[in-house]
């Protein structure tokens, strides 16, 4: 509860009453009873946030693809515009509204860097979300994820404010894309990304890559820096053969490595302990991070602060205690282009 205000809604009283009850029970519980003290995932604890999510829940939709639960979505305009996570939309799309009505949906626009998609359904009179820049909430603030029920799907704490993702961080966290088997020079290179080392028996080694080769393109994507390299590889999969253009001296050489699987390290193992992670969980230009434990199917919808304002769209479960959201201040300038058809998805 980082912002204090005399105008805070009446739900604050009930929230603090629940919090006090929880603390008193914790203090008085004997060791044999401590497991009964409410946690962040208990129904009693989630009930304290009912008033927080009452409004934004009406702006949340459940999205199914080919009759399978896929993700949540957020109503961003009253005449049937829904924002959600793009990479989970596979097959025939149906949106279930908070009141139980269901409508088929079509994809109108996609922001590939942020993995966001704009859907359109034929309905009017919906309740759009109310945005608030994520910078208004300090690290340590409570956040909640609305769903289709009176209680939130989950609650958590804002861990890291909105920030840009660097190439180094992508290397550390990326595990779902294909693995080329190289390390790169940290210093920028004029024409692309220079290879510092080719790992023995890796995909690059088997395809004939050499140290000091400069990667200038993967498939049809130009490679200009570490971020563009890691984002291009994140869209691939282990076992996939890709065309890579490298500059070797004054020549351009075309190589076709069959990508491998990134070696599992201790961090990867620990990240998977909490629950299943989102397939597409890296490469976003800017994110904010919170510690809410969400399933991948519970991403795609709004993340709200204690005033029920939407500070971001949950975009990925990225680690054991790490969920990422695209900040509201990034999303708002994208909305018109996503609705206009300028960012139409590939056929």
Per-residue pLDDT of 331-347, as tens digits, reads 999 999 999 988 888 76
Hey, which residues does 106 pair with through a beta bridge?
A: 120
In whole angstroms, give the CA distance from residue 49 to residue 42: 12
Per-residue pLDDT of 264-285, as tens digits, reads 544 444 444 445 788 888 778 8
Contact yes or no for 132/328 (Cβ under 8 A): yes
DSSP 8-state assignment for residue 278 = P
Nearest Cα to Cα of residue 194 among 176, 216, 174: 216
Nearest Cα to Cα of residue 286 among 322, 323, 324, 320: 324
Is 276 exposed, middle or buried (CB count within 10 Å of its CB: 0-12, 13-18, 19+)?
Answer: exposed
Instruction: Quote the pLDDT of residue 96.
Output: 98
In whole angstroms, give the CA distance from residue 75 to residue 98: 11
Residue holding tokens 């989950």?
154
Per-residue pLDDT of 91-135, as tens digits, reads 999 999 999 999 999 999 999 889 999 999 999 999 999 999 999
Nearest Cα to Cα of residue 328 among 293, 289, 288, 300: 288
Per-residue pLDDT of 40-89, as tens digits, reads 788 889 999 999 999 999 999 999 999 999 999 999 999 999 999 999 99
Per-residue pLDDT of 123-162, as tens digits, reads 999 999 999 999 999 999 999 999 999 999 999 999 998 9
Nearest Cα to Cα of residue 114 among 320, 314, 342, 344: 314
* Domains parsed from the chain with CATH numbers: 55-164+275-340 (2.40.10.120), 176-261 (2.30.42.10)
Instruction: Quote the pLDDT of residue 186.
Output: 64
Is 308 exposed, middle or buried (CB count within 10 Å of its CB: 0-12, 13-18, 19+)?
Answer: buried
Instruction: Quote the pLDDT of residue 112.
Output: 87
pTM: 0.69
Helix 11-28 to helix 50-57 angle, to the nearest 10 degrees?
Answer: 140
In whole angstroms, give the CA distance from residue 296 to residue 282: 13
Question: Is the C-alpha dihedral spanning 149, 153, 157, 162 positive or negative?
Answer: negative
In whole angstroms, give the CA distance from residue 107 to residue 53: 27
Helix (H) or strand (E) holding 32: none
């Amino acid at each position: 509860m980082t912002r204090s205000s005399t105008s805070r809604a009446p739900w604050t009283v009930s929230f603090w009453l629940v919090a006090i009850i929880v603390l008193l029970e914790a203090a008085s519980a004997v060791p044999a009873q401590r497991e009964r003290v409410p946690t962040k995932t208990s129904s009693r604890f989630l009930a304290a946030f009912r008033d927080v999510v009452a409004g934004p829940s009406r702006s949340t939709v459940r999205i199914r693809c080919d009759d399978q639960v896929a993700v949540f979505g957020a109503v961003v305009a009253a005449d049937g515009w829904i924002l959600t996570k793009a990479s989970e939309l596979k097959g025939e799309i149906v949106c279930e509204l908070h009141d139980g009505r269901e409508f088929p949906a079509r994809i109108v626009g996609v922001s590939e860097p942020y993995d966001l998609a704009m859907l359109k359904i034929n309905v009017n009179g919906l309740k759009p979300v109310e945005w608030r820049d994520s910078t208004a909430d300090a690290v340590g603030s409570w956040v909640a994820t609305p769903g289709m029920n009176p209680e939130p799907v989950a609650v958590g704490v804002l861990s890291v404010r909105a920030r840009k993702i660097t190439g180094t961080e992508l290397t550390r966290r990326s595990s779902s894309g294909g693995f080329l088997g190289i390390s790169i020079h940290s210093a920028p290179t004029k024409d692309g990304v220079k290879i510092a080392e080719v790992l023995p028996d890796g995909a690059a080694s088997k395809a004939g890559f050499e140290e000091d080769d400069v990667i200038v393109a993967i498939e049809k994507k130009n490679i200009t820096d570490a971020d563009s390299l890691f984002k291009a590889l994140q869209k691939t999969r282990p076992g996939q053969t890709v065309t890579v253009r490298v500059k070797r001296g004054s020549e351009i050489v075309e190589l076709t490595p069959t990508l491998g699987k990134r070696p599992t390290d201790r961090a990867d193992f620990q990240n998977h302990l909490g629950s299943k992670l989102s397939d597409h969980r890296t490469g976003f230009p800017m994110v904010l991070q919170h510690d809410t434990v969400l399933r991948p199917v519970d991403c795609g919808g709004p993340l709200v602060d204690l005033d029920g304002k939407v500070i971001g769209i949950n975009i990925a479960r990225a680690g054991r205690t790490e969920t990422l959201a695209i900040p509201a201040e990034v999303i708002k300038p994208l909305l018109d282009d996503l609705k206009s058809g300028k960012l139409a998805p590939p056929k």
